[in-house]
Amino acid sequence: MKFVYLLQSVSHPEQHYTGLTTDVDKRLVAHNSGQSAHTAKYRPWQMVTYVAFTNILKATEFEKYLKSGSGRAFAQKHLW
Protein backbone atom coordinates (compact mmCIF):
# COMPACT_ATOMS: atom_id res chain seq x y z
CA MET A 1 0.00 0.00 0.00
CA LYS A 2 1.23 3.51 -0.87
CA PHE A 3 0.14 6.72 0.82
CA VAL A 4 0.14 10.25 -0.56
CA TYR A 5 0.37 12.57 2.42
CA LEU A 6 0.13 16.30 3.09
CA LEU A 7 2.02 18.02 5.88
CA GLN A 8 1.76 21.51 7.31
CA SER A 9 4.49 23.22 9.30
CA VAL A 10 3.42 24.06 12.85
CA SER A 11 5.94 26.90 13.17
CA HIS A 12 5.36 28.24 9.62
CA PRO A 13 1.70 27.38 8.81
CA GLU A 14 2.00 28.73 5.26
CA GLN A 15 4.51 25.96 4.47
CA HIS A 16 3.11 22.68 3.12
CA TYR A 17 4.70 19.49 1.89
CA THR A 18 3.30 16.66 -0.22
CA GLY A 19 4.96 13.25 -0.30
CA LEU A 20 4.62 9.55 -1.00
CA THR A 21 5.42 6.73 1.43
CA THR A 22 4.53 3.23 2.59
CA ASP A 23 4.45 4.22 6.29
CA VAL A 24 2.94 7.63 7.16
CA ASP A 25 3.78 7.51 10.88
CA LYS A 26 7.42 6.64 10.26
CA ARG A 27 7.69 9.29 7.53
CA LEU A 28 6.28 12.02 9.80
CA VAL A 29 8.87 11.12 12.44
CA ALA A 30 11.58 11.34 9.76
CA HIS A 31 10.42 14.81 8.68
CA ASN A 32 10.27 16.02 12.28
CA SER A 33 13.74 14.69 13.08
CA GLY A 34 15.29 16.61 10.18
CA GLN A 35 16.05 13.63 7.93
CA SER A 36 14.61 15.41 4.88
CA ALA A 37 16.59 18.40 3.59
CA HIS A 38 13.45 19.87 2.01
CA THR A 39 11.50 20.03 5.27
CA ALA A 40 14.14 20.32 8.01
CA LYS A 41 14.05 24.11 8.36
CA TYR A 42 10.26 24.25 8.86
CA ARG A 43 10.01 21.70 11.68
CA PRO A 44 7.86 20.61 13.41
CA TRP A 45 5.33 19.21 10.93
CA GLN A 46 1.82 17.92 11.46
CA MET A 47 -0.06 15.49 9.25
CA VAL A 48 -2.99 17.18 7.52
CA THR A 49 -4.30 14.22 5.56
CA TYR A 50 -3.25 11.14 3.64
CA VAL A 51 -4.81 9.00 0.94
CA ALA A 52 -4.14 5.26 0.63
CA PHE A 53 -3.64 3.57 -2.75
CA THR A 54 -3.31 -0.09 -3.61
CA ASN A 55 -2.07 0.86 -7.09
CA ILE A 56 1.44 2.34 -6.91
CA LEU A 57 1.14 4.05 -10.31
CA LYS A 58 -2.06 5.84 -9.28
CA ALA A 59 -0.41 6.97 -6.03
CA THR A 60 2.56 8.37 -7.95
CA GLU A 61 0.28 10.13 -10.42
CA PHE A 62 -1.81 11.65 -7.60
CA GLU A 63 1.29 12.92 -5.81
CA LYS A 64 2.55 14.46 -9.05
CA TYR A 65 -0.86 16.08 -9.62
CA LEU A 66 -0.93 17.57 -6.10
CA LYS A 67 2.47 19.15 -6.77
CA SER A 68 1.19 20.82 -9.95
CA GLY A 69 -0.50 24.23 -10.03
CA SER A 70 -4.01 22.85 -10.39
CA GLY A 71 -3.28 20.13 -7.84
CA ARG A 72 -2.13 22.69 -5.27
CA ALA A 73 -5.35 24.64 -5.90
CA PHE A 74 -7.39 21.44 -5.44
CA ALA A 75 -5.55 20.61 -2.20
CA GLN A 76 -5.99 24.15 -0.89
CA LYS A 77 -9.73 24.02 -1.54
CA HIS A 78 -10.51 20.42 -0.52
CA LEU A 79 -7.72 18.99 1.63
CA TRP A 80 -6.32 21.78 3.81
Q: What are phi and psi of 30, to 5 degrees?
A: -65, -45
62: DSSP letter: H
Complete DSSP assignment for 28-72 = HHHHHTT--TTTGGG--EEEEEEEEES-HHHHHHHHHHHTSHHHH
Handedness of CA 39, 45, 51, 54 (dihedral sign): positive
**In this structure, CATH architecture of domain 2-75:** 3-Layer(aba) Sandwich (3.40)
Domain positions in the chain are 2-75
**pLDDT digit string (tens) for the chain, length 80 residues:** 999 999 999 999 999 999 999 999 999 999 999 999 999 999 999 999 999 999 999 999 999 999 999 999 999 999 87
The pLDDT of residue 79: 85
Q: What are phi and psi of 38, to 5 degrees?
A: -70, -25
> pTM of the entire structure?
0.93
